[in-house]
Amino acid sequence: MTAPDSHLAGSHLTIDLAALADNYRTVVQKAPTAECAAVIKADAYGTGLEPSAQTLWDAGARTFFVAHPQEGAKTRALLPEATIYVLNGLVGDDSSAEFDYYRMNALRPVLGCREEVTLWQDYCADRGESLPCAIHFDTGMNRLGLSLADAEELSTARQQAKPAFALELIISHLVCADEPAHPKNREQLEKFRAVRRLFPDVRASLANSGGVFLGPDYHFDLCRPGIALYGGAVVDGAPSPMRVVATLKTRILATRTVAKGQTVSYGASETTRRDSRLAIVCLGYADGYLRSASSSDAKKGAKVSINGHPAPIIGRVTMDLIIVDVTDIPADKARRGDWAEFFGSQIALDDVAKAAGTISYELLTSLGLRALRNYL
């Protein structure tokens, strides 16, 4: 059984790998004194781990961050010379099999609590191998990360006796980097500087995508851009300076005219306010397009673009179909077979996310596998 060709696929997801590479180079230019890594977790933010990782390697990335060890192993098979960190650290049941998996795939766990530090220390001591790792220190997220008190204890212990493992990197994670004026940014910076002073011989990393654009104070030795690489905004409420990487589009299956006062889609949650022309398109939440982008009488949803004309979704997003109000588009510009762009160069990814009450990260990583993927 062969995969459907472009004439049979209901929706198309186009990934512009040249734009991905350009976005990486843009971030590199923003942080010229630091190494620029690439975050490729969650299937490279929904764009496909293998093609995106290879593109980023070719563009110059040598250090990669994933969330889970399986993602790391997949990256290792593709990029045998890359440095690969696993952000979620030791996620298993503390058995040696998990540690062996990290070792065999040359993965570096990012240790996020004291227990993990002890486990990695014991494993390295038992094997007599100084295996590399990173340690995450919390500076205000209150998620993963050791405390400043933990940092002081570890620093003292490290000065007294060489640890069994090789500490290659210390990291923390910014909470409000997409809000440049937020005081939390400076607060976290000062806390991370205090940690850095305790480990002056270890490379340090604080800046995520937004952090890169906060300026050189936040760059340290290594930046970890994620969403910026994939075309998402780096400053909340401001247009993204990055190139569009992902474009989601589908075809119009049919059009119909509906009189004023008729309800549309499930739940009868939206009523036409005029005689309307509607287009039914071949996309739904089973494709990863969020149901929260629906429209109703109480709340307007996301928009699409058809032949360069914006058109609002009307009613609820359903599993396989979405209804769009094309009343304001000339009839010959919104016909059966025409393409509707749901995000891309005509409809900004972050605008769709905002209409859905979420962020571009969720929208990208929710994309399903049903769309025909085209890599440029």
pLDDT of amino acid 313: 97
What is the distance between the alpha carbons of residues 254 and 112, in angstroms, rounded to a whole number?
52
Q: Does a structural domain hold residue 10?
A: no
Please tell me whether residues 219 and 355 are part of one structural domain.
no
Q: Does a structural domain hold residue 212?
A: yes
Please tell me whether residues 24 and 166 are part of one structural domain.
yes
What is each CA distance from 308 to 104, 245, 249, in whole angstroms?
51, 19, 13
- Of 10 and 205, the one with more pLDDT: 205
What is the distance between the alpha carbons of residues 208 and 242, in angstroms, rounded to a whole number?
15
Please tell me whether residues 214 and 283 are part of one structural domain.
no
Please tell me whether residues 224 and 89 are part of one structural domain.
yes
Please tell me whether residues 200 and 250 are part of one structural domain.
no
Please tell me whether residues 28 and 135 are part of one structural domain.
yes
Q: Does a structural domain hold residue 240?
A: no
* Residue 286 in this model has a pLDDT that exceeds 50: yes
**Domain boundary residue among 189, 205, 230?**
230
Which residue's entry shows tokens 């293998």? 50
Average pLDDT over residues 85-111: 90
pLDDT of amino acid 94: 67
Which residue's entry shows tokens 């990669």? 64
What is the distance between the alpha carbons of residues 238 and 350, in angstroms, rounded to a whole number?
10
SS3 for the chain, per residue? CCCCCCCCCCEEEEECHHHHHHHHHHHHHHCCCCEECEECHHHHHHCCHHHHHHHHHHHCCCEEEECCHHHHHHHHHHCCCCEEEECCCCCCCCCHHHHHHHHHCCEEEEECCHHHHHHHHHHHHHHCCCCEEEEEECCCCCCCCECHHHHHHHHHHHHHCCCCCEEEEEECCCCCCCCCCCHHHHHHHHHHHHHHHHCCCCEEECCCHHHHCCCHHHCCCEECCCHHHHCCCCCCCCCCCCCCCEEEEEEEEEEEEECCCCEECHHHCEECCCCEEEEEECCCHHHCCCHHHCCCCCCCCCEEEECCEEEEECCCCCCCCEEEECCCCCHHHCCCCCEEEEECCCCCHHHHHHHCCCCHHHHHHCCCCCCEEEEC
pLDDT of amino acid 1: 41
Q: Does a structural domain hold residue 8?
A: no
Read off the pLDDT band of 5 (50, 70, 90). low
**Domain boundary residue among 230, 256, 281?**
230
Please write the tens of the pLDDT for every residue from 185-242.
999 999 999 999 999 999 999 999 999 999 999 999 999 999 999 999 888 877 788 9
Average pLDDT over residues 332-349: 95
Answer yes or no: 41 catalytic: yes
Annotated catalytic residue within 260, 266, 299, 333: 266
Please write the tens of the pLDDT for every residue from 240-268.
889 999 999 999 999 999 999 999 999 99
Please tell me whether residues 61 and 134 are part of one structural domain.
yes
Please write the tens of the pLDDT for every residue from 146-167.
999 999 999 998 888 888 999 9
Please tell me whether residues 254 and 225 are part of one structural domain.
no
328 C-beta neighbours (distance < 10 Å), count: 12
Q: Does a structural domain hold residue 83?
A: yes
Please tell me whether residues 83 and 146 are part of one structural domain.
yes
pLDDT of amino acid 237: 78
Please write the tens of the pLDDT for every residue from 310-320.
999 999 999 99
Please tell me whether residues 298 and 367 are part of one structural domain.
yes
Annotated catalytic residue within 30, 41, 249, 354: 41
**Domain boundary residue among 230, 259, 291?**
230
Please tell me whether residues 318 and 194 are part of one structural domain.
no
* pTM for this model (two decimals): 0.92
Please write the tens of the pLDDT for every residue from 166-193.
999 999 999 999 999 999 999 999 999 9
Answer yes or no: 300 catalytic: no
Average pLDDT over residues 356-371: 90
Report the CATH number that the domain containing residue 51 is assigned in CATH.
Answer: 3.20.20.10
Q: Does a structural domain hold residue 151?
A: yes
Please write the tens of the pLDDT for every residue from 52-95.
999 999 999 999 999 999 999 999 999 999 999 999 999 876 67
Q: Structurally, how many domains does the chain consist of?
A: 2
Q: Give me the domain span that covers residue 336.
A: 246-375
Q: Does a structural domain hold residue 284?
A: yes
What is each CA distance from 184 to 130, 131, 144, 176, 370, in whole angstroms?
36, 34, 17, 7, 40
pLDDT of amino acid 159: 87
Please tell me whether residues 225 and 268 are part of one structural domain.
no
Q: Does a structural domain hold residue 7?
A: no
Please write the tens of the pLDDT for every residue from 11-41.
899 999 999 999 999 999 999 999 999 999 9
